[in-house]
Amino acid sequence: MAEPRRSLPDVADLFDSHGAELLRYCTGRVGPTVAEDVVADTFLIAHQRRHRLADGPARAWLYGIASNLLRRHRRSETRALRALARTGRDLDQTDIADGAAARADASALTRRLAAVLAALPARQRDVLLLYAVAELGYEEIARTLDIPLGSVQSALHRARVKLRAALATDCAAHESPDGGPR
């Protein structure tokens, strides 16, 4: 007896369910212009390969496709983060108001964080951004990146340690000798 034919997932439904969050995640990684292209390519590939998605987690599958596409943009992402770390200017933003003290402090912190993110190994950066920006859980990240759960936990821990160290260094630089803000 022949197996009943399984219905393929409707990519339009997947887009309605996950498109906005995937765009938010990709925008956080590569900026709005490239993110739109990555998300469009993600759903194009999802449509072409929809036969591979059985009854598994569509969200993790889509984030996996997007992560693979983002990996192709790794050099551009790293260059942009390094430029942001050097200059404090986001290459995707053209209208930046310089002048407010709060903005300057935020800019300095942004540059420091961008430098730390650029220096992280690729796996640690992917895990951290999938956790912090895409808000995926450990198991979803493991499925997305096709790595063991323990590797996700280890990579996230190492990335957090590096970020905390950078923030502690940044905060210490902004304190006066008596422990208060300068």
Helices (H), the chain: 11-30, 32-48, 58-72, 74-87, 101-119, 122-132, 138-145, 149-173
Q: Provide the β-strand partners of residue 175.
A: 181
Any idea which of 27-41, 107-121, 133-147 has the lowest mean pLDDT? Answer: 107-121
- pLDDT tens, residue by residue, 34-70: 899 999 999 999 988 888 776 668 898 899 999 999 8
CATH architecture entry for 9-72: Orthogonal Bundle (1.10)
53 versus 151: the higher-pLDDT residue is 151
Fold adopted by 120-174: Arc Repressor Mutant, subunit A (1.10.10)
Judge contact between 71 and 153, C-beta under 8 A.
Answer: no
The CA dihedral of 44, 47, 53, 59, to the nearest 10 degrees, is 50
* pLDDT score at 55: 60
178 versus 49: the higher-pLDDT residue is 49
- Under DSSP, the state recorded for 13 is H
Q: How far is CA 97 from CA 83, 127, 174, in A?
A: 18, 32, 22
Question: How large is the average pLDDT for residues 106-133?
Answer: 86
The C-alpha atoms of residue 76 and residue 51 are separated, in whole angstroms, by 32
Judge contact between 68 and 76, C-beta under 8 A.
Answer: no
Q: Which two tokens stand for residue 153?
A: 């936990």
Taking the CA atoms of the chain, what radius of gyration do you get in angstroms? Answer: 20
Listed in order, the ranges of the chain carrying CATH 1.10.10.10 are: 120-174
Global model pTM greater than 0.75? no
Q: Which two tokens stand for residue 181?
A: 């803000």
- pLDDT tens, residue by residue, 85-117: 887 766 555 444 444 455 556 667 778 888 889
Listed in order, the ranges of the chain carrying CATH 1.10.1740 are: 9-72
